Amino acid sequence: MIIALGEKKPKIGTNVFIAPTAVVVGDVTIGDGSSIWYGAVLRGDMAPIVVGSDTNIQDNCTVHTDYGKPAHIGSRVTIGHNAVIHACTIEDDCLIGMGSILLNESVVRTGTMVAAGSLLMERQEVGPDQLAAGSPATSRKTFSTHPISKIADPVGNYRDAADEHMKMQVLDR
C-alpha cells in the first residue's frame, strides 16, 4: 500500500516490487529495482526515507525516522526479516541481518555486514568492510574483499524473487 501523507507523497522508481501487505507512507523515495516485502513498513512522516537502487527490505521490517533525523539506505543493500531501521544511515553494499536494530543516527559504512540480532546504539558507527555483531554491536572482523558476494548473492536472489512476485495474481476465496 502506497499512501500520501498530506503533501508528502512516496516516489517510487522503475521496476520496484512493493508487496501488497507492505506499507510505504509519506516522504519516501525508493530507487529503481528495489523491493519492499510482505509486512514491511516504511513510514516517512517525521523526516525523509531514501532507499537506493537494487535494495531489498525483507518481510516485517520497520523503517522509520525521527524529527529532523532521516533514514538513508544505500544501493545494493539487503535488510533481513524483522529488522528495525530507525533514523540512521546504511551505505551501499551492506547486509543487515535478521532481527537487527539500528537506532537513531547510527551509521553502517560501505561493505559492512551486521550480524542477525545485533543492536547499533544511537550515533554508533561500524565499518567500512567489517562484520559487526552483538548487543551492542562491536567489530568482529575487517574484510579485505567484499564478503557478501562470496556467501551468496542476496541482492540478485531478491531481484529474481521480486520479478517473480510482480507476476502474482491476488485470488479471492
Within a domain: residue 108? yes
Domain of residue 69 covers 2-165
Within a domain: residue 80? yes
Q: What would the 3-class secondary structure string for the chain be?
A: CEECECCECCEECCCCEECCCCEEEEEEEECCCCEECCCCEEEEEEEEEEECCCCEECCCCEEECECCECEEECCCCEECCCCEEECCEECCCCEECCCCEECCCCEECCCCEECCCCEECCCCEECCCEEEEECCEEEEEECCCCCHHHHCCHHHHHHHHHHHHCCCCCCCC
pLDDT digits (tens, 9 = 90+) for 126-170: 999 999 999 999 999 998 776 665 555 667 778 777 778 777 766
Q: What is the pLDDT of residue 170?
A: 67
Total number of domains constituting the chain: 1
pLDDT digits (tens, 9 = 90+) for 88-115: 999 999 999 999 999 999 999 999 999 9
Within a domain: residue 173? no
Within a domain: residue 129? yes
| % of the chain residues with pLDDT over 70 | 91
Sign, Cα dihedral of 47, 132, 31, 84: negative
Q: What is the pLDDT of residue 75?
A: 96
Residue 140 belongs to domain with CATH number = 2.160.10.10
When pLDDT is averaged across residues 24-53 and rounded to a whole number, the result is: 98
